[in-house]
Amino acid sequence: MSPRWLVKKAARQGLALGSWASGSMRARRVLSRGPRVRVVTYHRIGHEPQEPFCVTPDAFDGHVRYLAERELAVSLDDVIAFVAGRAELPDGACLVTIDDGCVSTLTEALPILARHRVPAVAFVTASLVGLKVDALPEPYLGWDELRELAASELVEIGSHAYTHRSLGLMGAEDARHEAFESKAVLERELGREVRSFAYPFGTRSDFDARTERALADAGYTVAFNSMHGAVRRGMDPISLPRIKVEGGEAQWMFRLLAQGAMDPWRVVDQNLWRLQRVRQEIVG
C-alpha cells in the first residue's frame, strides 16, 4: 500500500465515521428541507488494486444489493421528476451512473444490475466508441455493445461529451460542438433519445454558465458535474452534483456514503477549486 493511498483512504473514512458518530448526519436530515437523493458515480468494474476509478465486481454487487433491498435504487426518470417537484423519493435514494463507456459497464456491471433489477445511466464519449489503446486499462464499448446495453432497458445511455475534454477550458464554439455533436451521433447510432449529459472531469473549472447554456440549447433535460453533493428538489437540472464511489473501500463506507456521511466532502471540492484558481492567478 502506498502512503498516499492510505492517507487519502484514512481521510475519507475518518470524515464518514466522524460525521456518522457525531450525529451530524441525523441533524442535517432533520434540518434539511425535504429528502436528499444522491447520484453515485462509477467508472470501471474489475480488479485493479489501489485504483480509485475501479471497483471490484463483489463490491459493486454489495452496493447494488444494498440499494435494491432497501428500495433506494431510483431511475433517471425518478430523479428528473424529483428535481422538478413532480415526484416524491425516499431520503437516501440513489441513482447509479457509470462514466466513460468502458467494456466492464457491459460485461461486469450489467449482469449485477440485472440480477437486482437496479436501473443505471452509462455516460459515453461519442468519439471514443470502439477505441482500444494498449495503455488504457480497458477498451471502450463499440456501437453493437452499446446497443446491447441500451436494449437491456435497464441502462440508459447519456453523453459524456464528444472528445472527453474539459468544456469549461475550451472556447464557446467548441463547447457547443461537444454538446450538440455527441448527442447527434449517439442518437443516430443508438436510435434512442439522449437526454442526459455528464461533464468530463466535472470539477469546478470544467463547467460554467456558458457550458450549461450550451447543454440546454442542445436539448439535454439533465446534466451532472462531479462536484460532491446531494440532489434536492428545486435544483437546476442542468447542474446537478454527484458522489464518486472509489475502489478499495469497505461496504460500510458505501452505506455511509449513500446516507450522506460524505456530504461535507463538498467543502474539500470547493476549496480545491479556490486553490486551483489562486494557482492560475499566480501562473497568469
Interface residues toward Zn ion, by CB under 5 A: 99-100, 200
Residue 158 CB, nearest approach to Zn ion (Å):
12
Our CB check for Zn ion shows the closer of 199 and 265 to be 199
Q: Cβ of 190: how many Cβ atoms within 10 Å?
A: 17
Our CB check for Zn ion shows the closer of 19 and 196 to be 196
Residue 102 CB, nearest approach to Zn ion (Å):
10
141-164 per-residue burial string, b: 16 or more CB within 10 A, e: under 16: bbeebbeebbeeebbbbbbbbbbb
Our CB check for Zn ion shows the closer of 147 and 164 to be 164
Single-letter residue type at 220: Y
Our CB check for Zn ion shows the closer of 99 and 249 to be 99
Residue 103 CB, nearest approach to Zn ion (Å):
15
Residue 202 CB, nearest approach to Zn ion (Å):
8
Cα–Cα nearest to 206, from 223, 190, 187: 223
Residue 44 CB, nearest approach to Zn ion (Å):
11
Residue 155 CB, nearest approach to Zn ion (Å):
16
Our CB check for Zn ion shows the closer of 61 and 99 to be 99
118-139 per-residue burial string, b: 16 or more CB within 10 A, e: under 16: bbbbbbbbbebbeeeeeeeebb
Our CB check for Zn ion shows the closer of 100 and 138 to be 100
Q: Tell me the sheet residues that pair with 222.
A: 196
Q: Which helix (H) or strand (E) holds 225?
A: strand 222-228
**CB proximity list for 127: less than 8 A, separation 6 or greater:** 162, 163, 164, 182, 185
